[in-house]
Amino acid sequence: MAHEVRIDPLGRSTTCPAGQSILESCLRDDIWLPHSCTQGTCGSCKVKVLSGEVDHRESSEYTLTPAERESGIALGCQATPMSGLVLEPVEQVDPDDGVPRHPLRDHTGTAVVLDDIARDVRRLVVELDEPMAFNPGQYAEIRVPGTEVARQYSMANPPSETSRLEFHVRRTPGGIATDGWMFAGLAVGERVELKGPLGDFGMPVAQEEPAILIAGGTGLAPLKSIVRHALAHDLAPELHLYHGGRSRQDLYDVEFFEDLAREHPNFGYRPCLSEEDWEGATGLVTDVVLADFRSCRGLSAYLCGPPGMVEAGVKALKRRRMAPRKIHREEFLDAS
Ligand code: FAD
Ligand code: FES
């Protein structure tokens, strides 16, 4: 049964269909609520239930503690209404922050490119039947055909290309979406179902300070979108992109970024290898950043990749005195 959900401070309401999460219903109705992973692991979508009952479904005790549940907190991306609800987001929403918001929609398209671009990494390009507006840094949830499984993949193309989405996918051994489909049966010409846009990572509006962008593996995808958008619209005075891998086999789009650096004097690109000596930067990507920047005061950062790399990067930037509110992160958490 559908239930009415009112978001108190915004004065907006959505009718949440049976089985749909509060967050999904809001995003489909163009009501923006803070969120990141949409799979119950990051905790950024917490809402305070002011009246009514929710079903917490799969919410884990790690993300939503028993004490939080007791006090009426719920995960917007997991909880479904059991009655009419009034709630407010725990993290404040500023409707006048200038960031464009795009409603969540279901999309269909065709896989038009499927290339091996690095060790265990494929570039998948999907030509959509209908355009999808999104902000640089956001992601889509791609459905594995014939299953109820859907996985998140960040758009690597700039938001000016609304009908042709580029994804960088790393193979997870034994993984349902990757090993079982994108690196197995998926072929060019196949129909693809996805929904998006999702997530709040990125640089959709101009900033005054230079930015450091740190990617591990396919964490490069959203940063490629951000860099292309930011350079096209002059969003930041300087951009310094670091891409970490173990060896040369892990790097990709090197020529693309080298060309971009030649065209834009305010853009720097540093691929870093942790397990191979070469003519470029050697060491963990976060150590290379530490060596390049004696102080990060007054700068901002965008980090994306495996959780361990993102944690190490955040620590490194704080050691160099970057203000915590200037550090933006996206972790490629798996669904387990
Ligand atoms: P699953 O079937 O989910 O996992 C199979 C097994 O492998 C499980 O035991 C699981 O615990 C383990 N496992 C899963 N992932 C990992 C891992 N990373 N390291 C070690 N063990 C693991 N991935 C990309 O390649 N490109 C992207 O642009 C991208 N964007 C993302 C954006 C967001 C917001 C999030 C949350 C994740 C993103 N991911 C991205 C990760 C992606 O969504 C999947 O989690 C990943 O592709 C694995 O899916 P799977 O179905 O193949 O593996
Ligand atoms: Fe809900 Fe991450 S826990 S968006």
Domain CATH code at residue 318 = 3.40.50.80
> Torsion-angle region of residue 57: left (phi > 0), alpha (psi -120 to 50) or beta?
left
| Burial class of residue 248, CB neighbours in 10 A (0-12, 13-18, 19+) | middle
Residue-number span of the structural domain to which 137 is assigned = 105-198
Which of 22, 44, 65 for mutating ligand 2's site (highest number of atoms within 8 Å of CB)? 44
Q: Give yes or no: residues 217 and 312 share one domain.
A: yes
Q: Give yes or no: residues 163 and 216 share one domain.
A: no
**Whose Cα sits closest to atom 4 in ligand 2?**
38
Q: Mind spelling out the 3-state secondary structure of 198-261?
A: ECCCCCCCCCCCCEEEEEEHHHHHHHHHHHHHHHHHCCCCCEEEEEEECCHHHCCCHHHHHHHH
Strands (E), 63-183: 73-75, 80-81, 85-89, 105-118, 121-128, 139-143, 150-154, 164-170
Cα–Cα distance measured from residue 328 to residue 213, given in angstroms and rounded to the nearest whole number? 9
Per-residue pLDDT of the chain (336 residues; tens, 9 = 90+): 999 999 998 899 999 999 999 999 999 999 999 999 999 999 999 999 999 999 999 999 999 999 999 999 999 999 999 999 999 999 988 878 889 999 999 999 999 999 999 999 999 999 999 999 999 999 999 999 999 999 999 999 999 999 999 999 999 999 999 999 999 989 999 999 999 999 999 988 999 999 999 999 999 999 999 999 999 999 999 999 999 999 999 999 999 999 999 999 999 999 999 999 999 999 999 999 999 999 999 999 999 999 999 999 999 999 999 999 999 999 987 655
Q: Give yes or no: residues 85 and 114 share one domain.
A: no
Which of 24, 35, 65, 141 for mutating ligand 2's site (highest number of atoms within 8 Å of CB)? 35
Can you name the residues that pair with 193 across neighbouring β-strands?
108
**Whose Cα sits closest to atom 38 in ligand 1?**
332
Strand 150-154 with 139-143, pairing: antiparallel
Q: Give yes or no: residues 36 and 120 share one domain.
A: no
Which residues have CB under 6 Å of ligand 2?
A: 35-38, 40-45, 63, 75, 77
CB 113 within 8 A of CB 198: no
Q: Identify residue 323 by its one-letter amino acid code.
A: A
CB 22 within 8 A of CB 81: yes
- Report the length, in residues, of the chain: 336
DSSP 182: I
Query: Which numbered ligand comes closest to the C-alpha of 165?
Result: 1
Cα–Cα distance measured from residue 305 to residue 85, given in angstroms and rounded to the nearest whole number? 36
Where is the domain boundary, 37, 54, 89?
Answer: 89
Q: Give yes or no: residues 191 and 234 share one domain.
A: no
Q: Give yes or no: residues 217 and 306 share one domain.
A: yes
Cα–Cα distance measured from residue 48 to residue 134, given in angstroms and rounded to the nearest whole number? 27
The answer as to whether 113 is a domain residue is yes
ipTM of the complex: 0.95
Secondary structure tally for the chain: helices H, strands E: 6, 19
Query: For the chain, how many structural domains are there in total?
Result: 3
Q: What Rg do the C-alpha atoms of the chain give, in angstroms?
A: 20
Please give the distance, rounded to the nearest whole angstrom, from the Cα atom of residue 49 to the centre of ligand 1: 31
Q: Identify residue 70 by its one-letter amino acid code.
A: E
Q: Identify residue 93 by its one-letter amino acid code.
A: V
The answer as to whether 97 is a domain residue is no
Which CATH number goes with the domain that contains 131? 2.40.30.10
Q: Give yes or no: residues 232 and 289 share one domain.
A: yes
Which of 166, 220, 332 for mutating ligand 1's site (highest number of atoms within 8 Å of CB)? 332
Read off the tokens for 160: 């000016």
The answer as to whether 100 is a domain residue is no
